[in-house]
């Protein structure tokens, strides 16, 4: 009896629930139809749904975009390392090319200057390149890439487009050692260009010449030009040597103490010219 009663109640409840759900579904359908096909108004239900799903959308789209961005950046990072390597290589190549270009330009300018000097000069000149420098503190010599097979022999004068450099000291078939004019063992006959007074130019081992044997009676001023005297035929007459930079008149002695600043920059000796004496003497 009791079981029959309970089954009856359950059937009734199920029917009620079915009716209720159907009513809700019908109502919602009606609301949807009315609001969608009817007034086309964005009603309260739409707004409610909108508000409810909006944050979810926000979270999902934010997460998606974060994942997307992270993935893209990570992939980019892998590519960046490769690109960085490539760019560094390119930069190094460009720098090397720029350096080579600058060097070529500088060499070109230097050789043009030397060529202009060679062409403008009446002297028989042979070009040479400095390939080595004396490493000792006590001597000032350089090695050049010309030797006896080029007609070079001991004593030939070596000059640059700026002035005198020195003279050939030792020779082998293809190379020679040049004693620089700033070497203490170098002595060259020179003239003070203005007064035409003769003196002996000696090296001091530094970037200064000493001009000896000029009498105190001679009027020598700082800035006076010193040129080669041309005695002995080693250097041609009137070749630039330097400029008087200091004149000391001591109470004792007959001679002035004169310092001469070289016309040639001995720190940047690269391309030199050798005066071929035999041809020079003939001419």
Q: Taking CB under 8 A as the rule, does residue 144 contact other proteins?
A: no
> Binding segment for other proteins among 37-45, 201-209, 235-243, 274-282 (CB under 8 A)?
201-209
Q: Taking CB under 8 A as the rule, does residue 139 contact other proteins?
A: yes
Residues 6+ apart with CB under 8 A from 240: 162, 163, 164, 225, 227, 263
> Binding segment for other proteins among 69-77, 120-128, 198-206, 245-253 (CB under 8 A)?
198-206
Angle ∠(67,72,75) on CA atoms, nearest 5: 125
Angle ∠(233,239,242) on CA atoms, nearest 5: 125
Contact pick of 123, 144, 169, 214 for other proteins (by CB under 8 A): 169
Q: Taking CB under 8 A as the rule, does residue 141 contact other proteins?
A: yes
**Pair 154, 192: CB distance under 8 Å:** no
Alpha-carbon distance of 59 to 72, in angstroms, equals: 20
> Binding segment for other proteins among 70-78, 90-98, 109-117, 126-134 (CB under 8 A)?
126-134
CB-nearer residue toward other proteins: 63 or 172:
172
Contact pick of 185, 247, 255, 271 for other proteins (by CB under 8 A): 185
What is the nearest approach in angstroms of other proteins to the Cβ of residue 234?
A: 17
Q: Taking CB under 8 A as the rule, does residue 277 contact other proteins?
A: no
CB-nearer residue toward other proteins: 123 or 273:
273
Pairing state between β 225-228 and 125-133: unpaired
Q: Taking CB under 8 A as the rule, does residue 137 contact other proteins?
A: yes
Q: Taking CB under 8 A as the rule, does residue 138 contact other proteins?
A: yes
Q: Taking CB under 8 A as the rule, does residue 196 contact other proteins?
A: no
Q: Taking CB under 8 A as the rule, does residue 119 contact other proteins?
A: no
> Binding segment for other proteins among 189-197, 230-238, 245-253, 264-272 (CB under 8 A)?
264-272
CA-nearest of 97, 121, 101, 99 to 109 is 101
CB-nearer residue toward other proteins: 197 or 269:
269
Q: Taking CB under 8 A as the rule, does residue 211 contact other proteins?
A: no
Q: Taking CB under 8 A as the rule, does residue 213 contact other proteins?
A: no
Applying CB under 8 A, the residues found at the interface with other proteins are 131-143, 169, 177, 179-180, 182-185, 202, 204-207, 266-269
């Amino acid at each position: 009896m009791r079981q029959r009663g309970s089954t009856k109640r359950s059937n009734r409840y199920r029917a009620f629930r079915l009716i209720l759900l159907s009513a809700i579904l019908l109502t919602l359908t009606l609301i949807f139809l009315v609001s969608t096909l009817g007034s086309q108004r964005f009603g309260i239900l739409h707004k409610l749904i909108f508000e409810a799903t909006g944050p979810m959308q926000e979270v999902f789209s934010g997460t998606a975009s974060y994942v997307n961005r992270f993935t893209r950046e990570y992939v980019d990072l892998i590519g960046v390392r490769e690109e960085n390597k490539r760019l560094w290589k390119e930069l190094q190549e460009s720098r090397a090319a720029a350096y080579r270009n600058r060097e070529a330009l500088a060499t070109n300018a230097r050789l043009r200057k030397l060529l202009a000097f060679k062409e403008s000069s009446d002297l028989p000149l042979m070009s040479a390149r400095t390939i080595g420098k004396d490493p000792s503190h006590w001597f000032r010599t350089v090695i050049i890439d010309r030797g006896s097979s080029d007609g070079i022999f001991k004593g030939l004068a070596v000059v640059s487009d700026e002035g005198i450099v020195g003279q050939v000291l030792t020779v082998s078939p293809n190379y020679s050692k040049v004693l620089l004019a700033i070497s203490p063992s170098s002595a060259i006959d020179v003239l003070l260009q203005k007064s035409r007074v003769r003196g002996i130019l000696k090296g001091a081992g530094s970037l200064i010449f000493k001009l000896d044997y000029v009498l105190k009676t001679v009027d020598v001023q700082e800035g006076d030009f010193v040129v080669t005297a041309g005695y002995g035929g080693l250097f041609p007459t009137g070749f630039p040597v330097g400029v008087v930079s200091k004149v000391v008149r001591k109470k004792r002695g007959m001679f002035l103490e004169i310092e001469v600043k070289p016309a040639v920059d001995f720190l940047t000796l690269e391309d030199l010219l050798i005066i071929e004496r035999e041809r020079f003497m003939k001419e």
